[in-house]
């Protein structure tokens, strides 16, 4: 049976974490994660430092085991999926031997897989055709990153897992990298990547999963996240008037005062604006959509509040 037939005959998701936990000493790096990634999806794991992203990636690749719960790739164990070449990974560390050429290193890795893609194709997908004969030690950081991408791709995997793939790349190299990743995803493959960069998650993923303190605090599109974090921002000039009452207005979730200007995050901007109008307090009023950045900060704060109740 060919790999493609296997792919069609099974309906299991590419990735399934079920109540997965992993602790290191007293640190609960993953605290009961349920996550399903369907085949063909591109999903971003977004979170601050220490949120649990790398731990999740390690469990998915079978590099580490959960203390509780289950981890499945294509309905089997991560070890089975990795051994059969269905998963490619690009981890944070690792630089190939400096003296060999790009083509040599990718060819070497290709030979370790049961049904690799042609080396030239992997090089083209990773944007390395022009650097194929260059020694790995002579590459720029961005080019070296693409070699790691080619290595992850050349086994012709159905799922690719990328742990912070664009760290330390400049804007142009980042864009080139994501174009390459898109080319791979367009073939119907599944991509799971971790990142600190909200814009990347929003631009390149079908779905964003926000991790914080080992838990999933949001799961959806960028738009869903903005809604979940509490809709809009209303800002107005205070002109020296008192501010305590602003927090009691309908819909208002939080109040931030900067100089003479107040910034209200609200779940119901219509109600907030009506209440402001009733108090004749509409000076230089502005209503804007919360940014993804605002949403991320709000969602992460909520977890912290939950974990650290007021004393």
CB-nearer residue toward ligand ATP: 139 or 209? 209
CB-nearer residue toward ligand ATP: 22 or 265? 22
Whether residue 242 contacts residue 260, with contact meaning beta carbons closer than 8 Å, is answered with no
Residues that bind ligand ATP (CB under 6 A): 24, 27, 29, 47, 49-55, 196
Query: In b/e form, how buried is each residue of 252-288, taking b as 16+ CB within 10 angstroms?
Result: bbebeeeeeebbbbbebbeebbebbeeeebeeeeebe
CB-nearer residue toward ligand ATP: 215 or 226? 215
CB-nearer residue toward ligand ATP: 201 or 262? 201
Cβ of residue 299: shortest distance to ligand ATP, in angstroms? 15
Alpha carbons 128 and 144: distance in angstroms, whole number: 10
Cβ of residue 30: shortest distance to ligand ATP, in angstroms? 8
CB-nearer residue toward ligand ATP: 158 or 212? 212
Cβ of residue 17: shortest distance to ligand ATP, in angstroms? 13
Q: Which phi and psi angles does 229 have, rounded to 5°?
A: -80, -5
Cβ of residue 195: shortest distance to ligand ATP, in angstroms? 9
CB-nearer residue toward ligand ATP: 115 or 293? 293
- Residue that has been written with the tokens 């790691």 in this structure: 148
Cβ of residue 97: shortest distance to ligand ATP, in angstroms? 26
Whether residue 246 contacts residue 269, with contact meaning beta carbons closer than 8 Å, is answered with no
Cβ of residue 255: shortest distance to ligand ATP, in angstroms? 30
Cβ of residue 169: shortest distance to ligand ATP, in angstroms? 16
Q: Which two tokens stand for residue 173?
A: 């190299």
The secondary structure of 123-157 as a DSSP string is: HHHTT-GGGTTSBGGG--HHHHHHHHHHHHHTT--
CB-nearer residue toward ligand ATP: 71 or 125? 71
Whether residue 46 contacts residue 201, with contact meaning beta carbons closer than 8 Å, is answered with yes
Alpha carbons 54 and 50: distance in angstroms, whole number: 8
* Residues with Cβ within 8 Å of residue 17, at least 6 apart in sequence: 33, 34, 35, 36, 56, 59, 60, 69, 70, 71
CA 173 to each of CA 30, 183, 275, 295: distance values in angstroms, whole numbers, following the listed order:
32, 16, 48, 27
CB-nearer residue toward ligand ATP: 50 or 142? 50
Cβ of residue 28: shortest distance to ligand ATP, in angstroms? 8
Alpha carbons 311 and 308: distance in angstroms, whole number: 8
N- to C-terminal Cα distance for the chain? Answer: 61
């Amino acid at each position: 049976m060919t790999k493609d037939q296997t792919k069609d005959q099974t309906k299991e998701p590419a990735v399934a974490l079920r109540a997965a936990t992993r602790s290191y000493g007293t640190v609960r790096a993953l605290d009961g994660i349920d996550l399903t990634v369907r085949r063909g999806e591109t999903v971003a794991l977004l979170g601050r430092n220490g949120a649990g992203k790398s731990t999740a990636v390690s469990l998915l690749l079978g590099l580490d085991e959960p203390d509780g719960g289950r981890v499945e790739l294509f309905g089997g164990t991560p070890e089975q999926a990795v051994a059969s070449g269905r998963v490619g990974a690009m981890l944070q560390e690792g630089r190939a031997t400096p003296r060999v050429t790009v083509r040599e290193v990718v060819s070497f890795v290709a030979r370790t897989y049961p049904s690799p893609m042609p080396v030239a194709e992997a090089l083209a997908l990773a944007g390395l055709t022009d650097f194929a004969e260059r020694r790995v030690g002579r590459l720029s950081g961005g080019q070296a990153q693409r070699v790691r991408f080619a290595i992850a791709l050349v086994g012709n995997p159905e799922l690719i897992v990328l742990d912070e793939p664009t760290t330390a790349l400049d804007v142009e190299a980042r864009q080139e990298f994501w174009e390459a990743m898109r080319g791979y995803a367009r073939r119907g493959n599944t991509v799971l990547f971790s990142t600190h960069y909200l814009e990347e998650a929003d631009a390149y993923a079908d779905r964003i999963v926000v991790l914080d303190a080992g838990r999933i605090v949001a799961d959806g599109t960028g738009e869903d996240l903005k809604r979940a974090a509490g809709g809009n921002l209303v800002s107005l000039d205070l002109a020296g008037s008192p501010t305590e009452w602003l927090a009691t207005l309908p819909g208002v979730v939080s109040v931030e005062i900067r100089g003479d200007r107040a910034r209200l995050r609200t779940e119901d901007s219509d109600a907030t604006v009506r209440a402001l109008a009733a108090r004749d307090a509409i000076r230089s009023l502005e209503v804007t959509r919360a940014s993804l950045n605002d949403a991320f900060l709000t969602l992460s704060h909520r977890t912290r509040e939950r974990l650290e109740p007021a004393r």
